Amino acid sequence: MQYTDHLDMPRMTTRFLTPEDAVAWVEYCQDPIATEFSLLDGKTPEEMAKEVIALSLARYKEGRFGLQALISKETGAFIGKCGLMLQEEVDGNNEIEVSYHLLPRYWGKGYATEAAQKFRDYAFENNITNSVVSLIHPQNTRSKKVALRNGMQLVKTNALFRGKEYELFRITRKEWEEQKTFYWSSLFSHSF
């Protein structure tokens, strides 16, 4: 499956990450709240930023999707990262995850939801999968809210992934199609 960038959203566009993006990502890695649930303990912010960007670059090469840079259309600023990731061995299964991480100064403005919905739609519209998940640390309430706004439901509270337990949120293609149908029918019922 071809994974494309330059996805267009109302306020943002995407592009594939480059090694140079590690410089912008240091800001995220310096924030103790942003990195509270990180799996890269024991590294400096600079080391963590380089490693996280390198992981996405490796995913691109391996055909396992990867996070993409979120770029503001208005200012050209780097807002954060979002994208699809092939996650292996989630309770023994392979899953397509939509994952999102924003620089803290962009939190609470709806960017994560806008980006997550775009990648969810991309996955279904391009027949990548029949369900999309988000694996979220049980204490990460901000990410859970984004998953719920993305139309997902909590389906498991103790999904095992990389030796740790996560909450597993999921939306199926059928649920996504039903949500789209409901949205359009409610939109047209109010326009007359």
Q: 3 in a domain, yes or no? A: no
Mean pLDDT rounded to a whole number for the chain? 92
Q: Which of 42, 67, 48, 49 is nearest to 57 (CA)?
A: 67
The model's pTM is 0.90
Mean pLDDT, to the nearest integer, of 16-41? 89
pLDDT at 153 over 60: yes
Q: Is residue 164 part of a domain?
A: yes
Residue 127 has pLDDT above 60, yes or no: yes
Least confident residue range of 59-63, 131-135, 177-181: 177-181
Going from the C-alpha of 6 to that of each of 78, 106, 173, 179, the distances in angstroms are 14, 20, 23, 25
Residue-level pLDDT at 181 = 72
In a domain, 2, yes or no: no
The whole-number pLDDT of residue 36 equals: 85
Q: Is the pLDDT of residue 7 over 80?
A: yes
Tally of domains in the chain: 1
Does 6 map to a domain? Answer: no
Cα separation, 128 vs 2, whole angstroms: 10
Is there a domain that residue 58 lies in? yes
Residue 4, in any domain of the structure: no
Angle, alpha carbons 111-54-136 (nearest 5°): 45
If you average pLDDT over residues 14-21, what whole number do you get?
A: 98
Instruction: List the structure tokens of 67.
Output: 């996070």
Host domain of residue 128: 12-189
Asked if residue 67 belongs to a domain, the reply is yes
Residue 49 has what pLDDT?
A: 95
Q: In this structure, what token pair is assigned to residue 99?
A: 């994952």
- Kindly tell me if the per-residue pLDDT of 136 is higher than 70: yes
pLDDT of residue 1: 64
In angstroms, the CA 43 to CA 100 distance is 21
Q: Using one digit for the tens of pLDDT, what is the confidence trace for 94-116?
A: 999 999 999 999 999 999 999 99
Considering the domain boundaries, does residue 7 fall inside one?
Answer: no
Look at residue 139 and tell me whether its pLDDT is greater than 60.
Answer: yes
Residue 60 has pLDDT above 70, yes or no: yes
CATH number, position 170? 3.40.630.30
**Residue 42: pLDDT above 90?**
no
Model pLDDT, residue 30: 93
Residue in the block written with tokens 């019922």: 189
Instruction: Report pLDDT for 40.
Output: 65
* Residues 95, 78 contacting (CB under 8 angstroms): no
